[in-house]
Amino acid sequence: MNQTQANLQTSLIETTSEGRKTAMKGLDDHATQHIAEYFQALSERTRLKLLFALRGGEMNVTELTESSGCSQANVSKHMSQLTKAGFVLRESRGNSVYYRVADPDIFALCDLVSGKIADLMSAQRAIQTVLRNVSEKGKNIITRKTK
């Protein structure tokens, strides 16, 4: 991390008395641009799929191609973007290129987002169930009144 990144991090992160990083504060345009770029790298389904494949450990391009079902060119393109964004590290060994996760904390973020989405989907299903029940009850009431 260079000095500019360190200063940016220091100015944006609040730390609790227990030493836990908790929140961002005082975001300027420069900071929000970095945050947007960070999330943009994660906004593509194939990149998420590749990143999750690496959760089990280091893989080469051939293994990532097999695991994702994508072409080698597509895997290479997405892995290049994940490398550029700092999510993965790239290492050449002979004729093969190996990738590994640069910072496993990315999975905590992905798990948080996945949990939130699961909660939303569960709430939506519950609402749909209630609406179906209300609709059925309404039909029964109308049917009884018309008889």
Query: pTM here?
Result: 0.67
44-103 carries CATH number 3.40.50.1100: no
3-state secondary structure the chain: CCHHHHHHHHHHEEECCCCCEEEECCCCHHHHHHHHHHHHHCCCHHHHHHHHHHHHCCEEHHHHHHHHCCCHHHHHHHHHHHHHCCCEEEEEECCEEEEEECCCHHHHHHHHHHHHHHHHHHHHHHHHHHHHHHHHHHHHHHHHHHC
pLDDT of residue 32: 85
Q: What is the mean pLDDT of residues 72-94?
A: 95
Query: How buried is 50 (Cβ within 10 angstroms: 0-12 exposed, 13-18 middle, 19+ buried)?
Result: buried
CA distance 6 to 55: 27
In the predicted model, what is the mean pLDDT of the chain?
84
Q: What is the mean pLDDT of residues 27-45?
A: 88
CA distance 72 to 89: 18
pLDDT of residue 31: 85
pLDDT of residue 42: 92
pLDDT of residue 24: 62
pLDDT of residue 82: 96
Confidence of residue 35 (pLDDT cuts 50, 70, 90): confident
Confidence of residue 17 (pLDDT cuts 50, 70, 90): low
Residue with tokens 């992905």: 110
Residues 40 and 82: beta-carbon distance below 8 Å? no
Summarised one tens digit per residue, pLDDT across range 38-67 is 999 999 999 999 999 999 999 999 999 999
